[in-house]
Amino acid sequence: MFKEERTEPKFDWAMIGDINMGRPNLGMTMDVTVYRLMQFTLRDVLISEYGPEKTDEIFYKAGELAGKEFFKNIIKERKDFDSFIIELQQKLEILKIGILRIEKADLKNLNFTLAIAEDLDCSGLPMCDEVICTYDEGFIHGLLYSFTGQKFEVKEIDCWCSGDRVCRFEIIKI
């Protein structure tokens, strides 16, 4: 059996495939439970094998790659920040990823605070003593990097799992 070895990601949007052709009866939708089953079992195995720090690094990098690919393949409005955010809000809601709200935006310095309600990753999970949306941090960084060409520090500061009812992220241009 051939094993795929690589030193950098080789993801291509075509790897998602033709879902309409492959799932003519079941279609595009699935229960969030299935997504979370994959996410949290994968996370659990990675933590067992590599520890929490390396796992967070992997989840962040995967989210960042996903954000860049999402921007490249899903976002069409790229001319100004407002139209980009409006389209992003629409796409995230249509795809049932979450409901995005910009709470603060300093466009001059490219610093933001944003909140995501009904977040796909964690809304409804039990309370714990950690913020868990590391993948989302990377996803947001990938989106903003793709739009601005700038690097950011993206940090989740509030999470459903830590008692808030939204996931809130502080974003600072590096």
CATH of the domain at 138: 3.30.1380.20
Domain count, the chain: 1
| pLDDT tens digits, 115-161 | 999 999 999 988 887 778 999 999 999 999 999 999 999 999 999 88
Q: What is the pLDDT of residues 51-99, one digit of tens each?
A: 999 999 999 999 999 999 999 999 998 889 999 999 999 999 999 999 9
| Region of residue 60 (left: phi > 0; alpha: psi -120 to 50; beta: else) | alpha
Question: Is 136 domain-assigned?
Answer: yes
Among 106, 117, 95, residue whose Cα is nearest residue 168: 117
Domain membership flag for residue 168: yes
The domain in which residue 114 lies consists of: 31-173
Helix and strand counts by DSSP (H, E) for the chain: 5, 4
- The DSSP H or E segment spanning 154 is strand 152-158
Could you identify the residue written with the tokens 């009904």?
118
Residue 115 lies in a domain: yes
In a domain, 3, yes or no: no
Whether 161 maps to a domain, the answer reads: yes
- Identify whether 146 is part of a domain: yes
Per DSSP, the residues of 37-55 read: HHHHHHHHHHHHHH-HHHH
pTM (predicted TM-score): 0.93
